[in-house]
Amino acid sequence: MASPVSVYNSNALDPHIRSPPREALKMEFLADVTLLPGEDRITDKDIIYICPFNGAVKGKVLITNYRLYFRSSDADVTVAVTLDVPLGAISRVEKMGGASSRGENSYGLDITCKDMRNLRFALKQEGHSRRDIFENLFRYAFPLSHNLPLFAYVTQEKYAEVGWSIYNPVEEFRRQGLPNKKWRISFTNKSYELCDTYPTVLAVPVRSTEDDLKRVAAFRSRGRIPVLSWIHRENQAVIVRCSQPLVGMSGKRNKDDERYLDLIREANDTPKLTIYDARPNVNAVANKATGGGYEGDEYQNAELVFLDIQNIHVMRESLKKLKDIVYPNVEESHWLSSLESTHWLEHVKLVLSGAIQVADKVCSGNSVVVHCSDGWDRTAQLTSLAMLMLDSHYRTLRGFQVLIEKEWISFGHKFASRIGHGDKNHADQDRSPIFVQFIDCVWQMTKQFPTAFEFNEHLLLTILDHLYSCRFGTFLYNCESARDANEVRLKTVSLWALVNSRMDIYLNPFYTPESGRVLYPVASMRHLELWVSYYIRWNPRIQQQQQSPVEQRYRELLALRDEYLKKLEQLQLSDSSTSSDLANSSTPNTTPSSTSTPSQYTHLQTPL
Amino acid sequence: MLTGSKTTFKVRQMLPDIKERMLSQSGVNARSRDVFGLRCLPGECVLQRVVMVRKKLTAREGRGWLSGTLFCTHFRVAFVPQDSPKVDDNADPVLLGDHDVALASIEKVVVVGPNRTKLVTPNSSLKFTPEELVLYCRDMRVICFLFDRLTPDAQVLEITYTIAKTYQPLRPGSVLSFQNAALGSVEMKQFLSNRRRDAQVNWFESASDWEQELERCGATSWRVSSVNDRFEMSTSLSRFIVVPQKVLDTELKKSFAHFNEGRIPRWCWRHPRGSDLLRMASFQNNIYHEKDDIRNLEMVLFGCRSSLCVVVELGEELPSPADVQLALGRLRALCLGDISTSVSVPDDKWLSTLESTHWLDYIRACLRKASEVACLLRGGHLTVALQEAEDRDLGCLVSSLVQLMCDPLCRTRHGFQSLVQKEWVAAGHRFCSRGNYHRDNDKEEAPVFLLFLDCVWQLWFQFPSRFQLTDEFLLAVHDSVHLPLFSTFLANCQRERCKRSQNLGQSYTPVNGWRDALHPDSSSDPADPPLPPVWDWALQYSRERQARFTQPVPPAPPLQPLLNGNLNTHPDSHRMNDTPPGSVFLLSRGTFTCPANLPPWRSGSSGVYKKSHRRALSSESVPGLERLLKAWSLSEFPQNPAPGSGPQGPQGPQGPTDAYEPLLPLLMGPCMGLWRGCYLRGALHAQAFSHPVSSLAHPVERLAREVQQLQARLAQASSPEPSPPAVTAEPRRPDANLNQNTNNGTFLFPASRAPAPPTAPPRAGSKNHHAPWAPPPAAAPAPRPGNKDSPGGNKHTFLFGHSSAPEARPDPRYYQLAGAAKLPKSSGPPLSS
């Protein structure tokens, strides 16, 4: 038997950089490591990586202003180990042991990452060997805490497509058929005066004046007024998003807000407007104490539904518990009950079933208003998932980018606070994996509808990796006004530039476009699955499954098809003198190609 | 494949036809083949009928509702969708349509009325009119019918009562009356007694069946012994057993007494690297033993070349049959909910409740044990003997799982069927008791075979591209287990099957005379209907559905036929030459021990063993064995850098180069799946927001069909003679029954060997079967070298590999199997659709 040498590579990030630009690095340590343009080596060192799967592995570590790179050096270790971790993914660096600690490998660094793993390194105790590496890590992993720029502002990457143009709000509204008789486009927020966390372009009822908007803004938390997110082409039902009304303990009313919501209802002339409050009922009540609250009976022609989705703190703790049972070792003895006790899947289920209710309501012709407390976490989850169910455009590769740009980035999901880009304060209570949870929900949908999405799991993984990496400007800052102030679009590269430069690797070969189909996933624990290839991907046993078996089968078939096509072609070439008939019959098919695009696929289907 | 012969067809068509016409004309709604659109079996009576019923479709069926007519006969609850195509009267009878439920599969009948749900028993009376009728089936389907508001209450009530009264879940003897309802008519008996058995399945009934397997595996130092021909040595073993060449029958006879039920170590399978897999029951230690007995045992264990024997005790780490029964009971309750109270486990407790069934734990234990054994066998040159107290439950399971992991042939449909014949049917798994078909012995009931099917599903789920069979096939086997109609499942051992058929006598001589007179497995008697084997799928499934039992284009790992077990010619680093000959080790809980007292009757005099045979019990080879097992845990690590991290460019066919490299499943908690397609099929809550899914096939399926067509075109273009392979000459379409009957005139030859080319009109036939735009075959002269050898031509790529040397002429046995593997390709639905 072959010796069980296996290489596993913990880098899931960078399929793009293949041809190494090795400028002037020839003599250096780990010289063959491919760096990004603008990435600089900071320090390197001999180190021991305490791998939770293979034990201590001797090797070398390289730290740049973008990444931590480790490679094992021992020739005789059975498993070669490579680590390639963007510094942005690090949430905490700690020293482990002191100069006097006893025991093997007890002196070193303990690194906690945002992407579901921990890294431990051991160093020699002599001569403060870790001081330098610790300080550099600390400095470059948390640049904002050290008055350094984020790497997105340092990188010199260039791409053919400028990813920033993927989403243009006016164009997107036009695609939805707006403005129309009932809805107009408002630029009243162009200098973020109405609401500093909203985008500049908003769609509001035609009959509402700019003054109305201002008065409504006064009654909605942080001025996040109800605005249109999506409109159903046929029945004109809309998804409207906002923040909670400022009802407070005294139960204040605001006639303008009430009238404004009624304008939304009138727009497609349905008897009732449904308001989905994403929170559990108790939380909504509790919010009254801090000046918030929910729409009461004074809102005529409206019904209020609570969706029971927990807040950011509950979600953070839940994911932490999940990490505890999957990293480094998967809880073996009581896996399912351990999984249940994290409640992660249950939260995913509640988010999905909330979105299903929204989508179903809209599909049946009723307009809905969605809000939570501030309308930037749960609200974004619900509206974007409902739109993904309702509108097949968002299920394409580019459409999905638009959806994220629109519902998450432009409407001010607080990425900077939730992720803590470049910030050393790892215990910040504002951090929460809300966006990860959304991507998990999308993954659940792709599992249940394997042919409905143009993109594949690899895209979702890439998005989550760069959510933390700080290599692209896409997920930086909390809102558009902050992005404008920091000139994100001028000075950084968009993640979509990277994605759209190699679209083929993000395409789902099984995609079958069906516009107009509404997807209702089954939101039941019986049918939800843990996203193993994300949450447990650092476990080397799981990686084996990264390419789905079905996809593998598809590629096998593709290879087989190409082989046959080639053979047929050869036969026909050798044969063309005697039979022209044969050559004619197969012309449409004789284009053997190694990758398949959906269009090519349908082309091939036509003769059948 | 299996059809009535021409002669019986005439008989069957003539008689009932006249009768039917008369009856239906006189308005009596019974005893006709086509009653209100329901195609009845001969002798089947329609008891009740309700029109304008809607059936709820599952996700697999495309979700939504289907309108049609609901029937209750004394054999099944049938549902005929509106506008369903009228079936040709000459077609063979099909026991169950796609939407039908056999009465014997129904476990509970529940009606849903306005705001209430009620379990209907034969004696219950309803105080409300049901709006919905829900049938809970033993095979875990839940079938839901919705009545129309305009349907008169009386009709709805009547059919509900009729179903409740007729399905009779627990009455003893109900199985027999059910069988009679299905198969008891003269026409059915005659029809069944003239069915030909599938020649592509190795039935493991005759000595030659076993010899064929020995030859296939290249197990040359083993022979088939007929010492148990009359079941005198062991009542539960098959008539033929495989033992070492060296051991004489007289020596063998002395061994039986030392094993529980006389189930001595027998050969099951040989790994291409030269390891043999054996099975045996536990030792009897309460009888007097002579020195010779020990020698005989050694002879049986070491009779062949291998020097090392590992006895794998199956009792300790695996669930007992009672455990399995309990676990499946819990799983059923969980998946179906408490039917009578319509209370189901709350969603937030689903995972922990699923865990507490232990079903997945048991599956994992079985897969782990089988993986260990597979790794040992892969090491080469040793004998692994599976030992279980009775050797009739988990021995069957582990032994067949090991072969599924190691032998690609077992992962084809026909190979799987042969495997079940060998390791379960012939080996005497007590299907009848374990299934408790007669509801007379609850203590013995244990769905060990269903546990096996789930294990196979797990393997399939992790390695679908290494299987030719599909999950639909597994589902069909699963559902058939719950149908008390098949000889496969209604006996506990071969002896019972033989006895039954002999006692019944033969009132109808098989028309074709093909069957071995000693084993008429389906002879008829007025009292007792003949039972067909479960593998006669045409009785249950339409051709369209059978076509889905296999992948349209089978995955093609470069398979070589097992040539005399000689894959071990290349040096094997794990080969343990340092082991002294004749060492026995016991594997238990992952560790090897040299048992001083195996077999147990030598306890106290263990020295005898060493001295008398001058064999040092060496513990040196323990590390070697442990290395083999360790290789397994390491092999769970990927051999390549993670595929997800690199650019996923075009990748060629993947998979290890060695086709016999075992499939070792991942067994971590997150990797064990629940067979939702089986257990959650009817879960009604799952359809709360259901929406019809695409009617288009999955892109993989479509691509597979495309590849299939290309293959066919290539075959046509490359064959110089207009001689399509035999398989395509055999009509496969549902409407081709007349052709089929004429073909059956040649029943003396197994179907796949039928010398089709000279007789069949090839060009017309193949044109029909392949793409309509396929070029005329005659216009393609360029022959592919190497494809001319066998009449099958390059149709045999699946088993022989594309690049198999031209001179490697396939042995007819493989040819047969190759044909078998190929069959589904041409059996797809009409390609132009």
**DSSP codes, A309-353:** ---HHHHHHHHHHHHHHHSSS---TTHHHHHHHH-HHHHHHHHHH
Q: Is the pLDDT of residue B274 over 90?
A: no
For residue B642, give the nearest of A9, A585, A586 by CB distance. A9
**A19 CB contacts (<8 Å, ≥6 apart)?**
none
Name the minimum distance, in Å, from the CA of B642 to any CA of chain A: 6
Tell me the CB-side half-sphere exposure of residue B109, using CA atoms within 13 A: 27
B787 interaction partners in chain A (CB closer than 8 Å) = none
CB contact under 8 A, B572 and A1: yes
A552 interaction partners in chain B (CB closer than 8 Å) = 465, 651, 654
Q: How confident is the model at residue B297 (pLDDT cuts 50, 70, 90)?
A: confident
Residue of A nearest to B645 (CA): A12
Q: Which of B98, B60, B132, B81 is nearest to B692 (CA)?
A: B60
Residue of A nearest to B553 (CA): A557
pLDDT score, position B89 = 65
Contact B152, B66 (CB under 8 A): no
User: What's the pLDDT tens digit per position in A545-561?
Assistant: 545 666 777 777 888 88
State phi, psi for A464 to the nearest 5 degrees: -65, -35
Q: Return the structure tokens found at A256.
A: 């303008």
**Mean pLDDT of the region A335-360:** 96
Contact B456, B404 (CB under 8 A): yes
Give the type of residue at B462. Q
Q: How many CB atoms lie within 10 A of CB A358?
A: 27
pLDDT score, position A389 = 96
pLDDT score, position A376 = 96
DSSP, collapsed to helix, strand or coil, labels residue A283 as helix
Size of interface A-B (CB pairs under 8 A): 265
User: What's the pLDDT tens digit per position in A30-54?
Assistant: 778 889 999 999 999 999 999 898 8
Q: Is the pLDDT of residue A122 over 60?
A: yes
A567 touches chain B (CB under 8 A): yes
Spatial distance between the Cα atoms of A499 and A464, rounded to a whole number of angstroms: 13
Name the minimum distance, in Å, from the CA of A454 to any CA of chain B: 13
Task: Look at A450 and A89; give whichever has higher pLDDT.
Answer: A89
Catalytic residue among A372, A441, A470, A479: A372
A540 touches chain B (CB under 8 A): yes
Spatial distance between the Cα atoms of A83 and A73, rounded to a whole number of angstroms: 12
Q: Which of B482, B658, B465 is nearest to B560 (CA)?
A: B658
State phi, psi for B408 to the nearest 5 degrees: -60, -25
Tell me the CB-side half-sphere exposure of residue A75, using CA atoms within 13 A: 0
Q: How confident is the model at residue A600 (pLDDT cuts 50, 70, 90)?
A: very low
Spatial distance between the Cα atoms of A338 and B524, rounded to a whole number of angstroms: 56
Give the type of residue at A83. L
B773 interaction partners in chain A (CB closer than 8 Å) = 585, 607
Average per-residue pLDDT for chain B:
71
For residue B699, give the nearest of A510, A517, A561 by CB distance. A510
> What single-letter DSSP state applies at residue B185?
S
CB contact under 8 A, B706 and A604: yes
For residue A527, give the nearest of B686, B713, B780 by CB distance. B686
Spatial distance between the Cα atoms of B707 and B589, rounded to a whole number of angstroms: 47
B644 interaction partners in chain A (CB closer than 8 Å) = 12, 458, 461, 533, 537, 543, 546-547
Q: Is the pLDDT of residue A76 over 80?
A: no
Name the minimum distance, in Å, from the CA of B575 to any CA of chain A: 9
**Mean pLDDT of the region A457-485:** 96
For residue B689, give the nearest of A346, A360, A564 by CB distance. A360
Q: How many CB atoms lie within 10 A of CB B608?
A: 12
A462-475 burial code (b ≥16 CB/10 A, e <16): bbbbbbbbbbbbbb
Positions of E strands within B261-352: 266-270, 276-281, 308-313
Q: How confident is the model at residue B818 (pLDDT cuts 50, 70, 90)?
A: very low
Spatial distance between the Cα atoms of A524 and A96, rounded to a whole number of angstroms: 43
Spatial distance between the Cα atoms of B382 and B575, rounded to a whole number of angstroms: 9
Q: Which of B420, B426, B374 is nearest to B397 (CA)?
A: B420
Pairing of strands B383-388, B276-281: parallel
Q: How confident is the model at residue B91 (pLDDT cuts 50, 70, 90)?
A: confident
Q: Which of A44-58, A394-408, B320-334 has the least mean pLDDT?
A: A44-58
Helix (H) or strand (E) segment spanning residue A430: none
Q: Is the pLDDT of residue B560 over 60?
A: no
Angle at B355 between CA B353 and CA B361, to 5 degrees: 155
Q: What percent of chain A has pLDDT over 70?
A: 87
Q: Return the structure tokens found at A599.
A: 């269009």
Q: How confident is the model at residue A441 (pLDDT cuts 50, 70, 90)?
A: very high
Q: Which of A607, A577, A548 is nearest to A590 (CA)?
A: A607
Best A507, A560, A568, A572 member to test B by mutation, with max B CBs in 10 Å, is A560
Name the minimum distance, in Å, from the CA of B573 to any CA of chain A: 6
Name the minimum distance, in Å, from the CA of B562 to any CA of chain A: 19
* Catalytic residue check, A372: yes
CB contact under 8 A, A585 and B635: no
Contact B93, B42 (CB under 8 A): yes
**A191 CB contacts (<8 Å, ≥6 apart)?**
A200
CB contact under 8 A, B670 and A542: yes
B574 interaction partners in chain A (CB closer than 8 Å) = 1
Contact B104, B483 (CB under 8 A): yes
**A234 CB contacts (<8 Å, ≥6 apart)?**
none
Task: Look at A373 and B583; give whichever has higher pLDDT.
Answer: A373
A contact residues 329-348, partner B, Cβ 8 Å cutoff: 330-332, 334-337, 339-341, 343, 345-346
CB contact under 8 A, B691 and A560: no
A345 interaction partners in chain B (CB closer than 8 Å) = 351
For chain B, what is the radius of gyration of the CA atoms?
28
pLDDT score, position B751 = 33
| Backbone dihedral region for residue A555 (phi beyond 0: left; psi -120 to 50: alpha; all else: beta) | alpha
> Most confidently modeled of B136-140, B590-594, B713-717, B726-730?
B136-140
Global confidence as pTM: 0.81
CB contact under 8 A, A557 and B707: yes
B651 interaction partners in chain A (CB closer than 8 Å) = 552, 555, 559
Q: Which of A82-96, B102-116, B221-235, B729-743 has the least mean pLDDT?
A: B729-743
> What single-letter DSSP state applies at residue B421?
I
A569 interaction partners in chain B (CB closer than 8 Å) = none
**Mean pLDDT of the region B508-521:** 41
For residue A556, give the nearest of B465, B680, B831 by CB distance. B465
Task: Look at B743 and B625; give whichever has higher pLDDT.
Answer: B625
B635 interaction partners in chain A (CB closer than 8 Å) = 4
Spatial distance between the Cα atoms of B711 and B725, rounded to a whole number of angstroms: 12
Q: Which of A200, A196, A186 is nearest to A414 (CA)?
A: A196
CB contact under 8 A, A525 and B670: no
A contact residues 262-291, partner B, Cβ 8 Å cutoff: none
CB contact under 8 A, A511 and B464: no
- Long-range CB pairs of B763-768 (<8 Å, 24+ gap) are B763/B722, B765/B724, B765/B728, B765/B729, B765/B731, B766/B712, B766/B716, B766/B724, B766/B728, B768/B733
B781 interaction partners in chain A (CB closer than 8 Å) = 575, 578
Task: Respond yes or no on whether the N-terminal peptide bond of residue B599 is cis (omega within 30° of 0).
Answer: yes
User: What's the pLDDT tens digit per position in B757-802?
Assistant: 333 333 333 333 433 333 333 333 333 433 334 333 333 323 223 3
Residue with tokens 């449409």: A588
Q: What percent of chain B has pLDDT over 90?
A: 28
CB contact under 8 A, A556 and B653: yes
Q: What is the 3-state secondary structure (H, E, C) of A176-220?
A: CCCCCCCEEEECCCCCCCCCCCCCCCEEEECCCCHHHHHHHHHHE
Name the minimum distance, in Å, from the CA of B459 to any CA of chain A: 12
Task: Respond yes or no on whether the N-terminal peptide bond of residue A271 is cis (omega within 30° of 0).
Answer: no
As to burial, measured by CB atoms within 10 angstroms (0-12 exposed, 13-18 middle, 19+ buried), residue B807 is: exposed
Best B377, B645, B667, B702 member to test A by mutation, with max A CBs in 10 Å, is B645
Residue of A nearest to B775 (CA): A582
**A385 CB contacts (<8 Å, ≥6 apart)?**
A351, A352, A355, A359, A438, A441, A442, A445
Spatial distance between the Cα atoms of A183 and A516, rounded to a whole number of angstroms: 22
A537 interaction partners in chain B (CB closer than 8 Å) = 644
Q: Is the pLDDT of residue A276 over 90?
A: yes
Helix orientation angle between B448-462 and B321-336, rounded to the nearest 10 degrees: 70
State phi, psi for A83 to the nearest 5 degrees: -120, 140
Best A318, A335, A506, A606 member to test B by mutation, with max B CBs in 10 Å, is A335
